[in-house]
Amino acid sequence: MALFKKYDVTACFSGHFHQNVVTATSWGMPMIVTGPLSMNLYSDISDELSNGETNGIGFRVVDVGERPGEFTHKWHLLDDEEELYTVSGLNCA
């Protein structure tokens, strides 16, 4: 974490936690943990740290802007295969 702060890292994205967690470090760097495409596990911190995102099987789309540090992200539940192709921009027809 000291290196992230030293080099002014904009955000940290990671996975394999089996839950969605959206939080920030003590100096404000966003830390976004993305749940799996398999099994989600529930814990007491799930609701507290999910930042309103629903835990479930899905994927995260990250849009990186043109300016340094500019990004948005959104968690999409994998309820419907058609939605997957629409959100990802894939044309499977």
pLDDT digits (tens, 9 = 90+) for 22-62: 889 999 999 988 876 766 666 666 556 666 677 777 888 89
CA neighbor of 34 nearest in space, from 55, 3, 48, 6: 55
Tell me which DSSP letter residue 53 carries. P
pTM value? 0.64
* 62, 72 Cβ separation under 8 angstroms: yes
Question: Which residue's entry shows tokens 């100096």?
Answer: 27
pLDDT at residue 64 above 80? yes
